[in-house]
A and B are shown apart, each in its own frame.
Chain A
Amino acid sequence: MNIEKRRKLESFIALLLSTLAAVFGLLWLVFILGDVLVHGIGALKLSLFLNDPTPPGVTGGGLRNAFVGQLLITVFATLIGVPVGVLGGTFLAEYARGTKIARIISILSDIMVSVPSIVIGTFIYAILVKPVGHFNGWAGAVALAVIMIPVVLRTTEDMLSLVPWTLREAAFALGSPYYKVIIQVVYRGAATGILTGILLSIARVAGETAPLLFTSFNNAFFSVDMKGPISSLTVSIFQYAMGPYDEWHMQAWAASFVITVFVLLLTILGRLIIKWRYR
């Protein structure tokens, strides 16, 4: 065999292997999604959304409390996390642009994004559950907000940096103070980018379980009292999937399906916005 042929063969084999690796990786993922789809749709019932859980053995239970609880926790987490994240990102990209401080905070945020979420759960337990005296929904919302802040902060910083500096100079030239420039010019220019960041960060925290285990805990009843334990979909999935009852398993699949669809829709929406805006 001459060198030419050997090189071609080697290339062919290597590419075949990487294609196979790709197929291997993708197959698993298709398998998982397909499984969640099949089991989830099969278990979807209207009662899942309309009824509260019943004790094991009593049929017809649902997860209404968990849907509402999840919504509350996520909405409040967003309300806490987004302003802090956006403002923090503004500081890094505007007032502190190019400074050492901005760089350090930016790097720390990047690290913070991947800090194990269960550690954040233990941290919040120590500062918001133990001193207060009971598990509460606020603690869950704050735990999720803590995960959100660095994500939103970093995307905001990146998006603001994309707004051309000349745009700001034009506004300065008209005599506007910096805050007006930021709010009226820079934010406007980066709005869709920031919105995408927010959507993706919501998608990220909506599926979090670990930080809620010791904070918002769980509740067998319908409750919207954020000062007490509150149910969430993810913690319910954990409890139900680990439990021995077939009906619980069905509901866990259905809830997984709903949460997966929700997270994927948010992610797709985020991508579409980017595509539509930054074509």
Chain B
Amino acid sequence: MPILQKKNPVDFSFSLITALASFTVVLLIGGILAVLVRESSLSIQKFGIIKFLVSTDWNPVTESFGAATTVYGTFVTTVIALVIAIPAALGIAIFITEISPNFLKGPIGIAIELLAAIPSIIYGMWGLFTLAPIMAKYVEPALQKSIGKLPVAGMLFQGTPMGIDLLTASVILSIMIIPFTASISRDAFNLTPAVVKESAYAIGATKWEVVKNVVIPYSKLGVFGGIALSLGRALGETMAVAFVLGNKHEIATSLLDAAATITVTLANEFTEADTDMYLSSLFYLALVLFVLSFIVLAIAKFFLLKAERKYSR
């Protein structure tokens, strides 16, 4: 079937219209890249690429800007969020596919998908009003009293427990990506053919052994892809963390310190930057985030495609 239908004029125009519509996606991605580069050119010229990425300065008074603090904040919140979310999400996926009685599978599955649909601003607001006080009053002092006393790990829990810090932000972020990660992992687990699992049971494997030696190896690629996708989500999340991160442009050494991510910096400062260089540097941050998440998402897609190809064989 030729891509553009030349025989019938109506068909030709219809195929042309649809083609144009689908090319908007390419156009948008190219457009975003081009516009962000154009808008940040002032800052790119002044700070360059490497210097911008490694500079920890974010000083509107002297107009000296660098991305290191916000990239660091983005990285730390995302990693901690994943560390908390992945076990919980895998647990949920294992529970749904292998443990739960049949009548519970549907409802839990639906519940997870509904939870994935809750807007992120709701998570953020809940974090500020409910979670932050709990963290400040109970969790963080408890952590300081236990792990905080240890020699090296203790460094991570120094400072005043205010509840508005890296730890709280990461916890909210993790709660937000749990349903997303869980539902992708469940889909990946479900792809394991029943025959393979049953044969494992037939030779006397326990449930855990089936999960560990059959299901997980079989769905490894899909789960990796899902995790990478969640990573991409977490990198670009704004509202869930904007309320509780405290907007501090510094490399925090303690999890109880305030910090800033690229997204939160944009949300807070974008309409407020007073000089051209300031605004241009914010566009530059947006560009860094765009490129970063594009790469992560492309890697995720690569894994998922590979997984797909493997199963369709």
Task: Indicate yes or no for A touching B, C-beta below 8 A.
Answer: yes
Q: A residues engaging B (CB < 8 A)? A: 7-8, 10-12, 14-15, 17-22, 24-26, 28-29, 31-33, 35-36, 39, 83-92, 94-97, 99, 101-102, 105, 107-112, 114-123, 125-127, 146, 149-150, 153, 177-179, 182, 200, 203-204, 206-210, 213-214, 217, 234, 237-238, 241-242, 249, 252-253, 256, 259-260, 263-264, 267-268, 271
Chain B nearest CB from A92 CB (Å) reads: 6
Complex contact B15–A14 (CB within 8 A)? no
Complex contact B120–A209 (CB within 8 A)? yes
Taking A87-B22, A110-B301, A112-B28 as contacts, is the C-beta distance between A214 and B270 under 8 angstroms? yes
Note all chain B residues with C-beta closer than 8 A to A112: 25, 28-29
Chain B nearest CB from A158 CB (Å) reads: 13
Within 8 Å by CB of A263, from B99, B119, B178, lies B119
Complex contact B130–A179 (CB within 8 A)? no
A35 CA / B11 CA spacing, docked (Å) = 54
B275 at the interface (CB under 8 A from A): no
**B residues 74-120 touching A (CB-CB < 8 Å):** 85, 87-92, 94-96, 98-99, 108, 110-111, 113-115, 117-120
Complex contact A238–B239 (CB within 8 A)? yes
Complex contact A29–B22 (CB within 8 A)? no
A-B contact count (CB 8 A): 287
Chain B nearest CB from A272 CB (Å) reads: 10
Chain A nearest CB from B82 CB (Å) reads: 13
Complex contact B4–A95 (CB within 8 A)? yes
B266-278 toward A: CB 8 Å interface, digit per residue (1/0)? 1100110000000
Note all chain A residues with C-beta closer than 8 A to B196: none
Note all chain B residues with C-beta closer than 8 A to A178: 1, 5, 8, 11, 14-15
B167 at the interface (CB under 8 A from A): no
Interface of A is mostly: helix
Complex contact B208–A15 (CB within 8 A)? yes
Note all chain A residues with C-beta closer than 8 A to B305: 107
Within 8 Å by CB of B119, from A7, A96, A127, A206, lies A206
Complex contact A32–B14 (CB within 8 A)? no
A97 CA / B23 CA spacing, docked (Å) = 15
Within 8 Å by CB of A25, from B21, B89, B286, lies B89
Complex contact A123–B122 (CB within 8 A)? no
Within 8 Å by CB of B95, from A18, A35, A208, A242, lies A18
Whose C-beta in chain A lies nearest to the C-beta of B89?
A25
Complex contact A36–B122 (CB within 8 A)? yes
B31 at the interface (CB under 8 A from A): yes
**B residues 25-43 touching A (CB-CB < 8 Å):** 25-26, 28-29, 31-32, 35-36, 38-39
Whose C-beta in chain A lies nearest to the C-beta of B285?
A122
Surface stretch bound by A, among B54-62, B63-71, B227-235, B250-258: B227-235
Within 8 Å by CB of B236, from A15, A86, A94, A115, lies A115
Note all chain A residues with C-beta closer than 8 A to B282: 122
Chain A nearest CB from B297 CB (Å) reads: 4
**B residues 254-313 touching A (CB-CB < 8 Å):** 263, 266-267, 270-271, 282-283, 286, 289-290, 293-294, 297-298, 301, 305
Chain B nearest CB from A250 CB (Å) reads: 11
Taking A11-B206, A108-B25 as contacts, is the C-beta distance between A123 and B32 under 8 angstroms? yes
B242 at the interface (CB under 8 A from A): yes
